[in-house]
Protein backbone atom coordinates (compact mmCIF):
# COMPACT_ATOMS: atom_id res chain seq x y z
CA UNK A 1 0.00 0.00 0.00
CA UNK A 2 1.27 3.46 -0.93
CA UNK A 3 0.65 5.47 2.26
CA UNK A 4 1.55 8.76 0.56
CA UNK A 5 -1.33 8.27 -1.87
CA UNK A 6 -3.87 8.27 0.95
CA UNK A 7 -2.25 11.07 2.97
CA UNK A 8 -4.27 13.96 1.46
CA UNK A 9 -7.63 12.30 2.07
CA UNK A 10 -6.48 11.31 5.59
CA UNK A 11 -5.61 14.93 6.41
CA UNK A 12 -9.05 16.09 5.26
CA UNK A 13 -10.69 13.34 7.31
CA UNK A 14 -8.72 14.25 10.43
CA UNK A 15 -9.59 17.92 9.96
CA UNK A 16 -13.30 17.10 9.76
CA UNK A 17 -13.09 14.89 12.87
CA UNK A 18 -11.32 17.63 14.87
CA UNK A 19 -13.85 20.26 13.80
CA UNK A 20 -16.78 18.04 14.78
CA UNK A 21 -15.18 16.99 18.08
CA UNK A 22 -14.61 20.61 19.16
CA UNK A 23 -17.94 21.71 17.67
CA UNK A 24 -16.19 24.54 15.83
CA UNK A 25 -19.18 25.45 13.65
CA UNK A 26 -21.03 26.75 16.74
CA UNK A 27 -18.58 29.66 16.86
CA UNK A 28 -19.95 30.74 13.48
CA UNK A 29 -23.60 30.75 14.55
CA UNK A 30 -25.82 33.81 14.22
CA UNK A 31 -26.14 33.97 17.99
CA UNK A 32 -22.37 34.26 18.46
CA UNK A 33 -21.95 36.65 15.53
CA UNK A 34 -24.89 38.75 16.72
CA UNK A 35 -23.34 39.17 20.16
CA UNK A 36 -20.10 40.41 18.59
CA UNK A 37 -21.50 42.04 15.46
CA UNK A 38 -20.51 45.64 16.24
CA UNK A 39 -17.00 44.57 17.29
CA UNK A 40 -16.51 42.52 14.14
CA UNK A 41 -17.74 45.33 11.89
CA UNK A 42 -15.33 47.78 13.52
CA UNK A 43 -12.43 45.35 13.16
CA UNK A 44 -13.26 44.74 9.49
CA UNK A 45 -13.24 48.48 8.83
CA UNK A 46 -9.86 48.86 10.54
CA UNK A 47 -8.24 45.71 9.09
CA UNK A 48 -10.14 45.18 5.87
CA UNK A 49 -7.60 43.26 3.79
CA UNK A 50 -6.47 41.10 6.71
CA UNK A 51 -10.12 40.35 7.53
CA UNK A 52 -10.74 39.23 3.95
CA UNK A 53 -7.71 36.94 4.14
CA UNK A 54 -8.95 35.35 7.38
CA UNK A 55 -12.50 34.96 6.06
CA UNK A 56 -11.19 33.37 2.87
CA UNK A 57 -8.99 30.93 4.79
CA UNK A 58 -11.88 29.94 7.08
CA UNK A 59 -14.15 29.28 4.11
CA UNK A 60 -11.50 27.31 2.23
CA UNK A 61 -10.95 25.07 5.26
CA UNK A 62 -14.70 24.70 5.85
CA UNK A 63 -15.20 23.45 2.29
CA UNK A 64 -12.02 21.36 2.16
CA UNK A 65 -12.94 19.58 5.40
CA UNK A 66 -16.62 19.34 4.37
CA UNK A 67 -17.74 21.03 7.58
CA UNK A 68 -21.49 21.49 8.06
CA UNK A 69 -22.89 25.00 7.81
CA UNK A 70 -21.14 26.43 4.74
CA UNK A 71 -24.45 28.02 3.69
CA UNK A 72 -24.74 29.72 7.08
CA UNK A 73 -21.18 30.93 6.67
CA UNK A 74 -22.12 32.49 3.33
CA UNK A 75 -24.97 34.33 5.03
CA UNK A 76 -22.70 35.52 7.82
CA UNK A 77 -20.17 36.84 5.34
CA UNK A 78 -22.98 38.64 3.55
CA UNK A 79 -24.04 40.24 6.83
CA UNK A 80 -20.50 41.36 7.63
CA UNK A 81 -19.13 42.25 4.18
CA UNK A 82 -22.09 43.04 1.96
CA UNK A 83 -23.34 41.29 -1.17
CA UNK A 84 -20.60 41.99 -3.73
CA UNK A 85 -17.54 41.54 -1.50
CA UNK A 86 -18.84 38.46 0.33
CA UNK A 87 -20.20 36.84 -2.84
CA UNK A 88 -16.90 37.26 -4.66
CA UNK A 89 -14.91 36.05 -1.65
CA UNK A 90 -17.08 32.95 -1.20
CA UNK A 91 -17.01 31.98 -4.89
CA UNK A 92 -13.21 32.11 -4.98
CA UNK A 93 -12.74 30.45 -1.57
CA UNK A 94 -15.29 27.69 -2.19
CA UNK A 95 -13.70 26.90 -5.56
CA UNK A 96 -10.27 26.56 -3.94
CA UNK A 97 -11.60 24.40 -1.11
CA UNK A 98 -13.58 22.18 -3.49
CA UNK A 99 -10.49 21.77 -5.68
CA UNK A 100 -8.53 20.47 -2.68
CA UNK A 101 -11.18 17.78 -2.13
CA UNK A 102 -11.24 16.90 -5.82
CA UNK A 103 -7.46 16.50 -6.06
CA UNK A 104 -7.24 14.53 -2.80
CA UNK A 105 -9.98 12.13 -3.86
CA UNK A 106 -8.63 11.66 -7.36
CA UNK A 107 -5.08 11.12 -6.16
CA UNK A 108 -6.01 8.72 -3.38
CA UNK A 109 -8.98 6.73 -4.58
CA UNK A 110 -9.53 6.85 -8.32
CA UNK A 111 -7.16 4.02 -9.31
CA UNK A 112 -8.40 1.62 -6.64
CA UNK A 113 -12.02 2.44 -7.49
CA UNK A 114 -11.43 1.70 -11.17
CA UNK A 115 -9.95 -1.72 -10.34
CA UNK A 116 -12.90 -2.70 -8.17
CA UNK A 117 -15.67 -1.24 -10.30
CA UNK A 118 -14.70 -2.87 -13.56
CA UNK A 119 -15.80 -1.81 -17.06
CA UNK A 120 -19.15 -0.32 -15.98
CA UNK A 121 -17.37 2.63 -14.38
CA UNK A 122 -15.49 3.33 -17.61
CA UNK A 123 -18.76 3.37 -19.56
CA UNK A 124 -20.30 5.71 -16.99
CA UNK A 125 -17.26 7.97 -17.17
CA UNK A 126 -17.44 8.12 -20.96
CA UNK A 127 -21.12 9.12 -20.86
CA UNK A 128 -20.52 11.67 -18.13
CA UNK A 129 -17.51 13.25 -19.79
CA UNK A 130 -19.27 13.64 -23.13
CA UNK A 131 -21.38 16.32 -21.43
CA UNK A 132 -19.26 17.02 -18.35
CA UNK A 133 -19.73 20.80 -18.41
CA UNK A 134 -23.53 20.60 -18.57
CA UNK A 135 -23.76 17.86 -15.93
CA UNK A 136 -21.42 19.63 -13.51
CA UNK A 137 -23.13 22.98 -13.96
CA UNK A 138 -26.47 21.31 -13.25
CA UNK A 139 -25.12 19.70 -10.07
CA UNK A 140 -23.66 23.02 -8.93
CA UNK A 141 -26.65 25.19 -9.80
CA UNK A 142 -29.42 23.05 -8.35
CA UNK A 143 -29.32 23.26 -4.52
CA UNK A 144 -30.66 19.71 -4.12
CA UNK A 145 -27.30 17.95 -3.89
CA UNK A 146 -24.94 18.07 -0.87
CA UNK A 147 -21.94 20.23 -1.71
CA UNK A 148 -19.35 17.71 -0.52
CA UNK A 149 -20.84 14.95 -2.72
CA UNK A 150 -20.71 17.20 -5.78
CA UNK A 151 -17.09 17.95 -4.87
CA UNK A 152 -16.16 14.26 -4.74
CA UNK A 153 -18.18 12.65 -7.54
CA UNK A 154 -16.32 14.27 -10.50
CA UNK A 155 -13.02 12.87 -9.18
CA UNK A 156 -14.37 9.35 -9.74
CA UNK A 157 -15.75 10.25 -13.16
CA UNK A 158 -12.37 11.22 -14.57
CA UNK A 159 -13.30 14.88 -15.02
CA UNK A 160 -10.34 17.09 -15.89
CA UNK A 161 -9.13 19.62 -13.33
CA UNK A 162 -9.74 22.49 -15.76
CA UNK A 163 -13.39 21.55 -16.37
CA UNK A 164 -13.93 20.96 -12.65
CA UNK A 165 -12.56 24.35 -11.61
CA UNK A 166 -14.43 26.30 -14.32
CA UNK A 167 -17.80 24.64 -13.68
CA UNK A 168 -17.39 24.98 -9.92
CA UNK A 169 -16.49 28.66 -10.15
CA UNK A 170 -19.36 29.64 -12.44
CA UNK A 171 -21.81 26.99 -11.21
CA UNK A 172 -21.83 28.16 -7.59
CA UNK A 173 -21.98 31.84 -8.53
CA UNK A 174 -25.79 32.34 -8.75
CA UNK A 175 -26.57 30.58 -5.48
CA UNK A 176 -23.65 32.22 -3.71
CA UNK A 177 -24.75 35.75 -4.59
CA UNK A 178 -28.34 34.93 -3.64
CA UNK A 179 -27.12 33.86 -0.19
CA UNK A 180 -24.80 36.86 0.03
CA UNK A 181 -27.70 39.19 -0.77
CA UNK A 182 -29.89 37.56 1.88
CA UNK A 183 -27.00 37.74 4.32
CA UNK A 184 -26.59 41.44 3.63
CA UNK A 185 -30.21 41.94 4.67
CA UNK A 186 -29.62 39.81 7.76
CA UNK A 187 -26.91 42.27 8.76
CA UNK A 188 -29.59 44.84 9.46
CA UNK A 189 -31.42 42.35 11.71
CA UNK A 190 -28.21 41.62 13.63
CA UNK A 191 -27.63 45.34 14.13
CA UNK A 192 -30.98 45.45 15.94
CA UNK A 193 -29.80 42.69 18.27
CA UNK A 194 -32.30 40.18 16.89
CA UNK A 195 -31.91 36.62 15.57
CA UNK A 196 -32.80 36.32 11.86
CA UNK A 197 -35.48 33.98 10.54
CA UNK A 198 -33.79 31.57 8.11
CA UNK A 199 -36.97 29.89 6.87
CA UNK A 200 -36.70 32.04 3.74
CA UNK A 201 -33.82 29.83 2.56
CA UNK A 202 -36.18 26.92 1.89
CA UNK A 203 -38.87 29.04 0.27
CA UNK A 204 -39.91 28.47 -3.39
CA UNK A 205 -38.93 32.06 -4.17
CA UNK A 206 -35.31 31.10 -3.54
CA UNK A 207 -35.16 27.47 -4.65
CA UNK A 208 -37.23 27.52 -7.85
CA UNK A 209 -35.18 30.15 -9.72
CA UNK A 210 -31.97 28.26 -8.90
CA UNK A 211 -33.53 24.99 -10.05
CA UNK A 212 -34.68 26.67 -13.28
CA UNK A 213 -31.14 27.91 -13.96
CA UNK A 214 -29.87 24.39 -13.34
CA UNK A 215 -32.30 22.92 -15.85
CA UNK A 216 -31.09 25.40 -18.48
CA UNK A 217 -27.62 23.88 -18.20
CA UNK A 218 -29.04 20.55 -19.46
CA UNK A 219 -30.39 22.05 -22.70
CA UNK A 220 -27.17 21.29 -24.67
CA UNK A 221 -27.49 17.60 -23.69
CA UNK A 222 -31.13 17.46 -24.80
CA UNK A 223 -30.32 19.16 -28.11
CA UNK A 224 -27.41 16.81 -28.73
CA UNK A 225 -29.61 13.75 -28.14
CA UNK A 226 -32.35 15.11 -30.41
CA UNK A 227 -29.80 15.81 -33.13
CA UNK A 228 -28.41 12.27 -32.79
CA UNK A 229 -31.90 10.79 -33.19
CA UNK A 230 -32.56 12.81 -36.33
CA UNK A 231 -29.31 11.66 -37.89
CA UNK A 232 -30.20 7.97 -37.39
Task: Using CB atoms within 10 Å of the CB of residue 42, give its burial: 0 to 12 exposed, 13 to 18 middle, 19+ buried.
Answer: exposed
Quick one: pLDDT at residue 193? 61
When the pLDDT of each residue in the chain is averaged and rounded to a whole number, the result is 75
**Whether the predicted pLDDT of 215 surpasses 80:** no
99 confidence band (pLDDT: 50, 70, 90): very high
**Whether the predicted pLDDT of 121 surpasses 80:** no
CA distance 50 to 175: 26
CA distance 81 to 75: 10
Quick one: pLDDT at residue 75? 84
**Whether the predicted pLDDT of 198 surpasses 80:** no
Quick one: pLDDT at residue 112? 55
Quick one: pLDDT at residue 230? 57
Quick one: pLDDT at residue 136? 86
Find out whether 161 and 111 touch, Cβ atoms under 8 Å.
no
**Whether the predicted pLDDT of 63 surpasses 70:** yes
**Number of Cβ atoms within 10 Å of the Cβ of 116:** 8
Quick one: pLDDT at residue 204? 62
**Whether the predicted pLDDT of 64 surpasses 70:** yes
Amino acid sequence: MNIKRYLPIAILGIGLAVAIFFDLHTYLSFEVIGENYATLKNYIEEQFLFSLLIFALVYILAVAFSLPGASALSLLYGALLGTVVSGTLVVISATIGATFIFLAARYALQDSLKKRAGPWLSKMQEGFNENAVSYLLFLRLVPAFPFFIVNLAPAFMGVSLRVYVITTFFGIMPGTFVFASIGSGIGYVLEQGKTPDLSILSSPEILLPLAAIGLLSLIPIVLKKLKAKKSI
